[in-house]
Structure 1
Amino acid sequence: MSLSGIFSSAHQRRSFLLASGGLLLLCFLATLWIANRPEQSPSLETFNSFLNSVVASGAFAILSTLYISFFVDPNEVQKAAVVLPQDISQNLERIVADSVDYQISVRTGRHFRAKTLPRLLEQAKKHRQPIRVDAILLDFRDEAICEQYARFRQSATFDSHLWSVEYVQSEVLATILAIARAKNEYPLLLNVQLYLSKRLSTFRIEGSSQELIVTREDPKDFAYRYHRSHRDYAAYAHELGLIRTEASNVDVPTNVAPTEVLQTMFGLGKIAATVITAAEQAVGGRSPYA
């Protein structure tokens, strides 16, 4: 527990100052009463000196504490933002539970389609309130980007054996299918904007307009959360905006048969049949981070 932590709460700050100020006032009044007595014994003089010391040191301590509380401890700020690997799912659940909007910039969106999207729909149905989702995925149409990402995952992640160009494409398409089917099933509850980005990053940014969380590819990596009040929130929100601006907006159709969604969105013959088959099989898959 730190002074900055205690003083960050208005209630605790007020309680501390009132209690300390009240005690010092009583001590000060006692010194005045003793000083005005016509006769003072040695013990009373000693007690009066003690009270004077308490008042002086207490006043100095309060003023010093108030002064120190205006400074920022970088270590405390850093610790407040860090999320342990085992707490990432819990924090994502909490953000989703409090959201009326959600934005995410990822590569394939495996965890998003398996866990986050269904949870967002549950919240929308529970509160009978539409939710806006901005989803930015890797542009599967760019094979060079997909190959670069696949090579990265092959060399640096826990599930390296899975990754190939076709796997990247099928996983992106599986997430697109999940989004399209959710929108088709709940057109009044899910307002989704889909973007395909050629920007490659090892970080994933997602969250609501109130809080963002930044994660990495490996479930053993630390994550970082930034509430809207955090000084770094605006930087990551701006980064999301830049990625969205540079990405291609893709219309998500409604009233289309599930087997025709991808062809309607991207055109007949544009996607290999094997990739489409793999994507359809992956739609209901589990999150690799569960």
Structure 2
Amino acid sequence: MLSNSHCDSFLRREKIKTLGEAYLHCAIMPSKIRDRNGFQKVTSVSLSGIFSSAHQRRSFLLASCGLLLLCFLAIVWIANRPDQPPALVAFNSFLTSVVASGAFAILSTLYISFFVDPNEVQKAAVVLPQDISQNLDRIVADSVDYQISVRTGRHFRADTLQKLLEQAKRHRQPIRVDAILLDFRDASLCEQYVRFRQSATFDSRLWDVEYVQSEVLATILAIARAKAEYPLLLNVQLYLSKRLSTFRIEGSSQEIIVTREDPKDFAYRYHRSHRDYAAYAHELGLIRTEASAIEIAMDVAPTEVLQKMFGLGTIPAKVIAKAEAAVGAGSPYAY
């Protein structure tokens, strides 16, 4: 049972209710997470947390190698001393055994890892916050299709879309993208989403209805411009959905990753062979079916794309100006 005081206080603070979720948060705690004000706080990491995360394994390996290097330098320094009392000789022998044992352990671990079945690794569902970016990059690198259901698409616009284009150009192969965004035309829906973001996320100070609308439109603009620039490589289907969710589902026909709104939250990935993959793929299909398909305007001036798609005068000029400014902004998530 999870009875230690650290886990108990964490469960009360984060309002975690299920035993399974408690295990994931206490046994696989990231070393650095952000609070809702954007500040990083350091937490302890258990042994299972270290070895379940590629990021933590790299950190552990680098720290171990650094410690062994310091021990080795100390051995060299002691060996070059002209006077070596018995205590120093004994300490030098101890350091020598530490370096030999540590080097053997690291080399053995690297050797054994060569025999790990990659199919078993792929089935691991829990993704720590520090590992989300590399998992998204890996999915993009292997994709000929991509589906995403999000609210504003800030990270998709700033990072994923560019990598999908690079992937298509590198392989000279068209890529199909289904992008589902929040229907910014529904002011009450945007207001509901704003209330959630203001009360429950790390960047709550940013959110108002205009911000939601401008960020959605910025993503639409980025998609439209990318499609206009690479019409033979990028086949995009755009949808606006009235379904509000705290989860973001994205991925390819081979693997899906489910993330949440806050960068300190765990993500979950499901390879096609995973038993839960079909459920999330079906959920994406339902969201797409219920959403409104939007035709992306082509062969129009960049400044007239939104007016062509949604009607002249439908979108306030101030919102369009904010959307134009946001197109080139970076991702707000510290993946």
Residue 231 of structure 2 corresponds to residue 187 of structure 1 = yes
**Distance of 2:138 and 2:126 partners within structure 1:** 16
Task: Name the residue aligned to 1:272.
Answer: 316
- Residue matched to 2:276: 232
Q: Name the CA distance, whole Å, in 2 between partners of 1:265 and 1:254.
A: 9
**Structural mapping, 1:1-290, within 5 Å:** 80-290=124-334
Shift of 1:99: 0.3
What is the Cα deviation at residue 260 of structure 1?
A: 0.3
For residue 198 of structure 1, report the CA deviation from its aligned partner: 0.2
Q: Matched residues in 2 for 1:141 and 1:155: separation?
A: 23
Deviation string 1:5-36 (CA, Å, 9 cap, x unpaired) is: xxxxxxxxxxxxxxxxxxxxxxxxxxxxxxxx
Aligned residues: 215
Q: Given the two structures, how large is their TM-score scaled by the length of structure 2?
A: 0.63
CA distance in 1, matches of 2:168, 2:287: 26
Post-superposition Cα deviations, 1:225-272, rounded to whole Å, max 9, x if no partner, equal: 000000000000000000000000000121111100000000000001
**Secondary structure at the residue paired with 1:80?**
coil
SS in 1 for 2:245: coil
Cα RMSD of the aligned pairs, angstroms, is 1.4
Identity %: 86
Deviation at 1:80, TM superposition (A): 1.7
Deviations 1:88-116 (A, max 9, x none): 00100000000000000000000000000
Per-residue Cα deviation, 1:131-158 (whole angstroms, up to 9, x for no partner): 0000000000000000000110000000
Which 4+ runs in 1 deviate beyond 6 A?
Answer: none
Gaps of 5+ in 2: 1-119
CA distance in 1, matches of 2:215, 2:201: 16
Question: What is the DSSP-based 3-state SS (H/G/I as helix, E as strand, rest coil) of the residue aligned with 1:220?
Answer: coil
Give the drift of 1:214: 0.1
Counterpart amino acid of 1:281? Answer: A
Deviation string 1:10-67 (CA, Å, 9 cap, x unpaired) is xxxxxxxxxxxxxxxxxxxxxxxxxxxxxxxxxxxxxxxxxxxxxxxxxxxxxxxxxx
TM-score by length of 1: 0.73
